[in-house]
Structures are given as C-alpha cells and as structure tokens.
Amino acid sequence: MRLGGMHEACGVAGAVTPGRQAARPVFFGLFALQHRGQEAAGIASSDGRAAYIHKGLGRVAQVFDEDNLRPLAGELAIGHNRYSTTGATQLRNAQPHLVETVLGPLAVAHNGNLTNARALRRELLEAGIGFSSGSDTEVILRLLALPAEGSEDPWIARIGRLMARAEGAYALVLLTREAIYALRDPWGFRPLVVGELEGGGWAAASESSALATMGARPAFEVEPGSVVRIDREGYRVHEVAAGRPRALCVFEYVYFARPDTVLAGREVHAVRRRLGAELAREAPADADVVVGVPDSATAHALGYAEAAGLPFAEGLIKNRYIGRTFIEPDDALRKTGVRLKYTPLASVLADRRVVLVDDSIVRGNTAGPLVRLLREAGAREVHLRVASPPVRHPCFMGLDMATHDELIAHRLELEAIRAHVGADSLAYLSHAGMLRAVGTRTGLCDACFSGRYPLAVEPAAPEEDALVGEG
C-alpha cells in the first residue's frame, strides 16, 4: 500500500558510449527507473578532461530538458533518481555527488543505506574531512576519495577498502575520468545489472527493464561483492569482497521492481502472479469479483482471480497524472491523496462481493480509505487480501519502513487490523507461501517480515541527528 506505506529504493544508471554523448541514454535509464524515486534526479558526465553535472528536485522530466542535458559532455555518465529514507528533501542531498580528487573527478550514485554510516562519518570528521550534505552517500564519496594501496587500478583499491569498512546495502555507480564502476555490497541487497548498448558501449542500471529503455541488451547481473569496470574498450569484472550469504530484498519481487524486470533469473510479473495465486489458495473468499489496487497489485490480483476461478475487473481507476502521493510527508495529505489518486467504478462494484488485493500493508493509513471508496461505490462486501506477510519489523537496508510503533502489524493482531480498515475479512499471504511463489528459500532478505536481519543493526537513538539514507 503506497500512500502512507513504504517507500521505494533509489534508481541508478550509468553508460559508456564511445563516440557519442553518454548522458542521453542515462537520462532514458532514469526515466525508466522513475518508480524508484521521485524526490530528485541528477546526471554527472566526463569527457576525459573535466566532469559536468546537473541535478534538481523533482522527477526526471521536470529536472532535465535539452538545454541542460546538452552541456553534459563526454562518453561516460552516471545518474540517480532519489528517494531518501530519512531526512528532508533538499537539493544538497540530491545525487550524484561530485568531488575532485588527486586522481581526477569522482562522482557517486548510491542505492541503499549504510548501517554504520554514523561511525564512519564521525571517523572522517575527526580526521578533518568536512561534509556538505547529510547523506550517507557522501560518506561513501569521502572514503573513496582517500588514497589506498593494493591494486594496479587505484580505484579498485579504494573500492576494496570501502567494501571492507562499509556495512549495509549499497548498489553504486561511480564516475571517474576514464571509466565508470558498477558494484554491489557483499550481501547483494539491491539489484544492479550490466548490458551491451546498441551501437557500441555498455550500460549499468538498477533494473533490466531500464537497460532496454537505454537501448541495451541485458548481459549479466553484478554479483554481490564484485566490481565491474567499464571504459571505452569494454568491461572487466573484479572480485573485490568475499560474498556473504545472499540477501536480495524480497520486496523487489513483491512491489519495488518494475513487472518487466528480471531478477535472479525470475520475471517479476510472473512472480507476482504466483504470489496472488498462493494467496487465493491460502485465503479464498466467497466473492463475485477480484479487484487489484493499481498498478502495484494488478499482477497479484490477476493471479488471485485465476487461481480462485473468479473474474478480474478494474474496479479502481488510478489518476496517473498527479504523481505518487506517498512522497508527501504529512499523513493528512496522504489520506486525502487516496481520493485524489483512485476513483472507484460503480458499474464494476455495485451490489457485488469484492476481493480487494494489495501487495502490502505497512502503516495502515490507506487500506481503510480504499475499503470505504469501494463501499461508497456500492460494494456489498469487501474482502481485503494482501499478497505478502504482515510487515512487523523496520528495514535498515535502504527502505523507509517506519519504526516498530508505526507498523500496524507490529501493534495490532489480525482481527484488530481488519476492524481498523473496515473490511469484511482480511488475510495476508503466509511467509512460506511467499517463498514458494518467489521460488527460493535462500538468498533473500525478508527481515521486515521475519525480524531476522542478515547483519547486525543498531537503530539510532531518538536524540541522534539522523543521516539521510538513500533508497
């Protein structure tokens, strides 16, 4: 449930395009990754002599036009769509971050969240290194800017030191004078893929669907703990950090990734249909029609309807022109946003028993207004079905999943949640059912459901100033 629910991961993209401007395919990659962050966008490029950058608040199409894209010269570029997990929306936190180093320019675009960012930041401050933002991405940038030894490629040496020190989730694209680097943390929390561009060159992006929009054919996923160096001659893979037990965020399958993306060999749309089918088998309802919350739960609802032998119908029409209202930080605005964002179809709902399928319930601010919308349109009964288990634990790996007290499933039992949202019945997919649908019992982070975190986490004390984590 997006309004007042969890927020998405940031999106990153990069390209090396011999003989032509790299910023243009990166722009289209960010456009395809808009669902992963809408607070800010930015692109940095290099022509081998100097670096250029443009970034701003808002969505990609609001930040970029021909006049500010054209000056981003060079055959190397990286870009970023931002959603912050904590902190205010400010231009100083927009990415990529760019600095000049002894090796030339360095720009960083980051998807994830460092769990030890405060300790690393304090260490750098004590060493006399200043910061211009409150982002944990700048912690990564300042660490990479420091000299390091131990590799023929000095940037690989610096990345190796970063991987040895940083804890948590990070999928990064780095821009230097002569190459871009794509890397994932040793757990592989966030996705990152590399593809071959039509007309020559290579690209990297958070999702395979973005590569297609960039004009690239997906080639391979960046392995956890590895670094891919891409320059005008091609690419080279460096195994830098020993891989930990794989921990790809399961919510990439449930909600975050685009349905046409392939993750670990699994098409997201197909997985979501299986999630809905498992939910139908576990929690059938005596109903007339199945309706999904668009667009995130459409595939889940299709799977539910097929497995239940019920018709699927569009009972909610989404206004796609008002933006994603979950970006608003005020709960009152989020609740108003339900009516702004969705319109019920009385012709589908009137005097019918409806199964309403959604991908998740986090805070519970949206489920109640949606149930009321269906009833006002004439639905006789509303049976709410959720295609993931109850979210009972916060995420510390790059998603805004609230605190324990804000998570409705942490505070309330099932019947109390049902009463709170006003549904005639409520059921969640079981944890085992989710894993069956995804197709694996290993290699996933499911801590928001299970409370089993792949690495040690230490929530900040209330009196601490929070760093801005990057989705």
**Is 226 labeled as ligand-binding?**
no
Interatomic CA distance for residues 58 and 102, integer angstroms:
33
**Is 249 labeled as ligand-binding?**
yes
**Is 286 labeled as ligand-binding?**
no
Token pair for residue 168? 């948590």
Token pair for residue 396? 């510390």
Residues 6+ apart with CB under 8 A from 95: 10, 40, 42, 55, 80, 82, 108, 109, 110, 135, 137, 470
Give the amino acid at 180. Answer: I
**Is 359 labeled as ligand-binding?**
yes
Catalogue the active-site residues. 10
**Is 358 labeled as ligand-binding?**
yes
Annotated binding site for [4Fe-4S] cluster: 249, 395, 445, 448
Annotated binding site for Mg(2+): 296, 358-359
Annotated binding site: 249, 296, 358-359, 395, 445, 448
